[in-house]
Amino acid sequence: MSSTMKEKLDSIVSDAVSRLAEAQDPDALNTVRVDILGKKGQLKELMKGMKDVAAEDRPKIGQMVNEARDRVTELIEKRKKEIDLEVMNARMAAETIDVTLPAKKAEIGHPHPNQIALEELERIFVGMGYEVIEGPEIEWDEYNFTKLNIPPNHPAKDEQDTFYINKDIVLRTQTSPVQARRMEQGKLPIRMISPGRVFRSDEVDATHSPSFHQVEGLVVDKNITFADLKGTLDKFAKEVFGPDTKTKFRPHHFPFTEPSAEMDVSCFKCGGKGCRFCKGEGWIEILGCGMVHPHVLEMCGIDPNEYTGFAFGVGLERIALLKYEIDDMRLLYENDARFLKQF
Ligand code: DAH
């Protein structure tokens, strides 16, 4: 009897050995464990036959069953460790990080062409002793127009050109009102530039936008003449467009300056001969300027018999477009990084 029990136990153990060798994952391992060691497993079944075993053989058979259980448990443990290791190795292989691969570049922004141009303008004028000040984008009609000698019937005040908040308040159409704000402070002399956003009721096209930027300039002191204006703006033009740049002042009209002029620079592409860039002219218009109108000085509390001054206004986009040879203003507002990082 004990010999058949032994044979059965041996066959259970060898069956376990071959099934465990085939088991490839923790689930398969568990199936083998339940089949052999479980409540309804092969060993439990075998124990049911104990009642037929002679009483004196029972301890020995019992010991054999225990040994078989220990052996199978041990085999399962061993296989479990193997499978765990295989699973771990497979994961390690799958999740390998190649530390020699170049890292992804962090996207850092790029200064906007307007910003680059503005910083250059600020560098030039701060270098000549100017202060940089800002004024409000939402402005009194009085500062945007009246204090700048712009009469109520002036075409610039037309609703087709100006965004009105109400009859007294506008989105400033120019940075010139900062001149009046600065002069009214009464601190003299004045050497200032004032960059900022301005608004006009314009349709968007390659050269127009309802919102763009200007840089205003103002100098007020004793004995300031048109020669100071010319010298300053000529220096500015040479700094921005190169040392060979020539300047030309054409008479013009602005209500807040007298006399007034527009300044052209010699085309920095063709040197003045005439090319596609300057439309055959040899000259490119850059800014408006003039001697501060005595009446404007007076309205801002400055005695025009004691003080004189000059002023100028530059379109920032205009400088950026020319300097970087960008042919469509809309590109400046699309914020496409592929465009912006070229400058
Ligand atoms: N504000 C003028 C404009 O927007 C530009 C300008 C012209 C400003 C002459 C000035 C100046 O300070 O003197 O067209």
CB-defined site of ligand 1, < 6 Å: 174, 176, 216, 254, 257, 288-290, 311-313
What pLDDT, on the 0 to 100 scale, is given for residue 34? 92
Nearest atom in ligand 1 to the alpha carbon of residue 314 is 5
| Burial status of residue 311 (CB atoms within 10 A of its CB: 0-12, 13-18, 19 or more) | buried
Task: Give the residue ranges of the chain where pLDDT is below 50.
Answer: none
Q: Which residue among 143, 220, 228, 254 is best mutated to probe the pocket of ligand 1, counting the most ligand atoms within 8 A of its Cβ?
A: 254
The answer for residues whose C-beta is within 8 angstroms of residue 16's C-beta and 6 or more apart is: 32, 36, 72, 75, 76
What's the CA-to-centroid distance between 110 and ligand 1, angstroms?
A: 30
Report the nearest-CA residue for atom 2 of ligand 1.
313
pLDDT of residue 233: 98
Choice from 144, 154, 176, 182 to test ligand 1 binding pocket (greatest atom count within 8 A of CB): 176
Q: What is the pLDDT of residues 298-309, one digit of tens each?
A: 999 999 999 999
pLDDT at 3: 67
Residue 326 is predicted with a pLDDT of: 93
Q: What is the structure's pLDDT at 160?
A: 83
Across the chain, mean pLDDT equals 93
Distance CA 179, CA 297 (A): 10
> Which atom belonging to ligand 1 lies closest to the Cα atom of 148?
1
Q: Which two tokens stand for residue 153?
A: 């019937």
* 42-59 residue pLDDT tens: 888 888 888 888 888 888
Q: In this structure, which amino acid lies at residue 297?
A: L
Contact 132, 119 (CB under 8 A): no
Query: What is the Å distance from ligand 1's center to 131 Cα?
Result: 18
In a mutational test of the pocket of ligand 1, which residue from 208, 312, 314, 317 has the highest number of ligand atoms less than 8 Å from its CB? 312
pLDDT at residue 56, rounded to an integer: 87
